[in-house]
A and B are shown apart, each in its own frame.
Chain A
């Protein structure tokens, strides 16, 4: 089945939570709503599910208008950020509950619960209660319950947000496999650009109640329409600074400039915004056309295998992300190399200038 939103908007007490939105999710597709907390992801999902009513616009399942159809009749399932299970039911009963509601025979229930439990590695604990299990297992139960009933629309609202790092990595790995063979529309809300990319599929970048861009995830990531979409799809945040274009030269600051050709060189002279993602600003001299900049280190954040250095350069807070472990002292000065071939240029309306 497919899902379509036409001019859907949501106002609450004079405040707009969702601006008129048009989206088409194809059948058997994985769609990601990407945006920070408060971007409107949850509201939009609740409208899709029928848990909340849109102020304007209509929703179509397979071309059929379901705008006024209650959630119970829409065949949707939902997984939330909190691990929501029936505390007094065993794992088996938890997973079976949507099937019992649908009056499915005992034999069929047993088979389907068994299958989904195998898939989600819950089989050894079917007789236990959710409270005896870890957070990751509890969230798996919630997912099993959502998937067992063959819903045509599966909504997942930041399901991994409350899990420990390693568990998140594990489930992030499993999820696309689980959903791959299903003929349902999956909508997955997340605040993490990395998740959106890893799931491939399509991403709708959201910001303050608007879908700023929708398309294949890797395209939205690599070719953002505007600065807002680029920001939504960058973690660590994308570095920006104003640059001055004169002829075929782009000047960042006195002493730091580079030449451009083609489309960029033909633009009219004047100020532009230059944006570059953190991993193209490295402490190693790599890439095709590195430009050296100096900065004062504010903090080096070290994840297991990467170093993220926050530094100040010409009154801008910039971030560099490099492979390996390289702790710099707070307050020290360091060189960074900007791979400008991956730079993005934005005009005065913050629209991307296509190169």
Chain B
């Protein structure tokens, strides 16, 4: 077991990348602690699978280094990296029994049979596969097969990291929380570093202590689930995480004052440099907007009932602003105003959170 360091990592599938778009993975520096639970989250084509393949050794990066502990493994093949991987579709050895499947990685490494038996029994117990050890693996349901895949990773004692590539894709919806729970519990028990790749925010945020959000081959934020929700570093994160996503409105920044459509707005990140030429916007989540007596004057366009809350779509000049109100709460009939929660309202420049001084 070891910590994982990705140093100045870049990758391109073309031989001589020139344009920005040629890079499937742009500049990445990360350090992951031993025994942590991490997630790579992003829409399809964001570079998360490329990154996963670089860590597992199926791909050699065009630039930069991968370190396990102090060892440079950048050029080592997968079997020498001591990693395990659970794929999107269950990979099992059809002709073998569940027992033989679990024993396979150990037998390939010449572990003696009594030790194999001990480990397999132990792991089968953990993954709840004990009753089916002697059955043919091909006869199991999808969740059983994914447990075998996982078990083959857990059974080895030399594993640095276990990686999951959208592992719940083929699992029935009602079994998903069970399997998520199992994964979480196993992580707490075995304390191996785990990296979970997905496009599903619930899966990423549920599993990981720290989430790496990616878009267009770039890391847009690394943070805890709270960070991503409460202080998105990029408007992409604000929109991608949470439902409905963040409201983004163009604004003018004039020294200490942030003005949206002629109305002054208080924000959490203050103290910008004058003459910043980046495109400036404010971002704030629907959860942090309320109806009030004063503030931004809006007209209510649509109210959608979501059961536990209502999504209210309002119009301010030519911008749409969405907010959430409680089930019992009423929507003002006319002369509606919105107030923004100050310490959750941020100014973004070209999409990135402006790092001014904090709100005083």
Q: Which residues of A approach B to under 8 Å, CB–CB?
A: 164-166, 169, 191, 193-194, 197-198, 200, 217-218, 221, 277, 279, 298-305, 310, 321, 323-325, 327, 329-331
Contacts and interface: CB of A to CB of B under 8 A. Distances in A.
A217 B304 CA distance: 12
A231 to B, nearest CB: 12
B304 A200 contact: yes
Contact of A310 (B173, B177, B188, B245): B177
Given A301-B180, A325-B225, A165 B306 contact: no
Interface residues of B, number: 35
Nearest to B307: A197
A304 B228 CA distance: 8
A303 B305 contact: no
- Tell me if B's interface is mostly helix, strand, loop or mixed: helix
Contact of B206 (A279, A300, A321): A300
Given A198-B306, A305-B287, A299 B201 contact: no
Contacts of B311: 198
Interface in B245-266: 245
B205 A169 contact: no
B240 interface: yes
A37 B40 CA distance: 30
Given A298-B181, A305-B229, A166 B304 contact: no
Contacts of A300: 206
A301 B306 contact: no
29 contacts: A164-B199, A165-B199, A169-B244, A191-B173, A197-B306, A197-B307, A198-B304, A198-B306, A200-B304, A217-B305, A221-B307, A279-B308, A298-B181, A299-B177, A299-B181, A301-B177, A301-B180, A303-B205, A304-B201, A305-B229, A305-B241, A305-B242, A310-B177, A325-B225, A325-B229, A327-B225, A330-B181, A330-B188, A331-B185
B306 A218 contact: no
Contacts of B184: 299, 330
Given A327-B225, A330-B184, A321 B205 contact: no
B141 interface: no
A304 B242 contact: yes
Given A325-B225, A330-B184, 12 more contacts: A165-B199, A165-B243, A166-B43, A194-B306, A197-B305, A298-B181, A299-B181, A301-B202, A303-B205, A305-B241, A325-B226, A330-B185
A299 B180 contact: yes
Given A169-B244, A191-B173, A299-B181, A323 B287 contact: yes
Interface of B: 43-44, 173, 177, 180-181, 184-185, 188, 199-202, 205-206, 225-226, 228-230, 239-245, 285, 287, 304-308, 311
A301 B226 CA distance: 13
Contacts of B230: 325
Given A303-B205, A304-B229, A329 B188 contact: yes
Contacts of B181: 298-299, 310, 330
Contacts, number: 87
B223 to A, nearest CB: 11
Contacts of A191: 173
Give chain A's interface secondary structure class: mixed
Contacts of B305: 197-198, 200, 217-218
Contacts of A200: 304-305
Nearest to B45: A134
Chain B CB within 10 Å — which of A164, A191, A298 has the most?
Answer: A298
Contacts of B44: 164
Contact of B43 (A164, A198, A331): A164
B237 to A, nearest CB: 10
Q: Which 8 A-B pairs have the closest CB atoms?
A: A304-B242, A299-B181, A279-B308, A302-B205, A304-B241, A305-B242, A303-B202, A301-B206
B308 A321 contact: yes
A85 B336 CA distance: 45
Nearest to B173: A191
A164, A198, A300, A305: which has the most chain B beta carbons within 10 Å?
A305
Contacts of A279: 307-308
A165 B242 contact: no
A329 to B, nearest CB: 7
